[in-house]
């Protein structure tokens, strides 16, 4: 498995399994178990996904030495404060039945995330978390956090795929030594990504699927990917992307598919309020 070295020296796999929206706990457990048995070492979950316990059970079942795994979880926005982060991290560790996390992210840039960052920095320095980072942070919020805290985020996870390519955001992260990680690397199946003509044409030249071409395109840009699937055949396919390379011309052709800047919090007051209300309801369910 290809890895990348984060800004604190920790090595992280470039490809892993995401479990967002896998709400059936039996399915979540079996999916993670099968992924680990197939060779996946990066597993990405979150408090808000409500499946940390299932992930923890799968880790125990798989029997792989803990130091070989890279486990990520995330702090939900309702815990964005110093005390909230202390309680949120403790809950995640308990549910996962782990002594430490390899990566822990602030899931959304709202509320007292500075207070949360202070506690996570302490937990990082104490060794309870090997790396800390953020999720869904804009360039402005990321750079603000970097300038007014003493631990630089190792990761910023943002929606990134062939239709939301985040070129400017990616460059900004490079400039400030923060690794980009993609959520929704296969566009959540939107935009007909699996049947997209250009991706399929390029895939045929390499004996690969449109999904594999999409993931390879991100990996060649240096972007970590965590495609979600509960199907073993797709897990195998998603991992089978390290034995070919896209040409410079193919990379440029795929760059023409860009359609949006990806998910962002609304700059409009009412739109932002609606997003917050939605997320508050989501966290209560």
Catalytic residue among 49, 104, 113, 124: 49
Letter string b/e over residues 98-117, b meaning 16 or more CB atoms within 10 A of that residue's CB: beebbbbbbbbbbbbbebbb
Residue written as tokens 């495609």? 227
C-alpha closest to that of 262 among 185, 174, 173, 165: 165
Q: What whole-number distance in Å separates Cα of residue 130 and Cα of residue 5?
A: 12
Phi and psi at 72, nearest 5°, equal -115, 135
Residue-wise DSSP of 88-106:
HHHHHHHHHT-S-BSEEEE
Is 113 part of the annotated catalytic residue set?
no
Q: What is the CA radius of gyration of the chain?
A: 18
Q: What whole-number distance in Å separates Cα of residue 202 and Cα of residue 200?
A: 5
DSSP-derived secondary structure letter, 192: G
> Which tokens hold the place of 76?
């939900």
C-alpha closest to that of 43 among 227, 239, 242: 227
> Which tokens hold the place of 201?
């044409």
Beta strands in the chain (DSSP E): 3-5, 11-13, 16-18, 42-44, 70-75, 103-106, 132-135, 155-159, 179-183, 224-225
Give the number of C-alpha atoms closer than 13 A to the C-alpha of residue 26, restricted to the C-beta side. Answer: 0
Hey, which residues are catalytic here?
Answer: 49
């Amino acid at each position: 498995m290809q890895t990348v070295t984060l800004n604190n020296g920790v090595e992280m796999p470039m490809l892993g399994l995401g479990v967002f929206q896998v709400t059936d706990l039996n399915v979540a457990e079996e999916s993670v178990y099968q992924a680990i048995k197939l060779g996946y070492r990066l597993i990405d979950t979150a408090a808000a996904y409500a499946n940390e316990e299932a992930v923890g059970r799968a880790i125990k079942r798989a029997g792989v030495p803990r130091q070989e795994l890279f486990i990520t979880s995330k702090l939900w926005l309702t815990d964005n404060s110093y005390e909230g982060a202390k309680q949120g991290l403790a809950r995640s560790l308990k549910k996962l039945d782990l002594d430490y996390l390899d990566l822990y992210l602030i899931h959304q840039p709202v509320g007292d995330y500075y207070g949360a960052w202070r506690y996570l920095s302490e937990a990082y320095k104490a060794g309870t978390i090997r790396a800390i980072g953020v999720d869904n942070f804009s360039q402005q919020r990321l750079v603000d956090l970097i300038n007014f805290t003493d631990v630089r985020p190792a990761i910023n996870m943002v929606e990134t795929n062939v239709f939301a390519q985040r070129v400017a955001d990616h460059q900004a992260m490079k400039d400030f030594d923060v690794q980009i990680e993609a959520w929704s690397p296969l566009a959540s199946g939107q935009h007909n990504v699996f049947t997209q003509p250009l991706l399929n044409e390029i895939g045929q030249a390499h004996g690969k699927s449109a999904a594999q071409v999409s993931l390879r395109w991100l990996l060649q840009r240096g972007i970590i990917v965590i495609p979600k699937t509960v199907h073993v055949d797709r897990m195998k396919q998603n991992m089978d992307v390290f034995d070919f390379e896209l040409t410079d011309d193919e990379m440029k052709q795929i760059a023409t598919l860009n359609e949006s800047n990806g998910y962002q919090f609304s700059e409009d007051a009412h739109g932002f309020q609606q997003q917050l209300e939605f997320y508050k309801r989501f966290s209560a369910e």
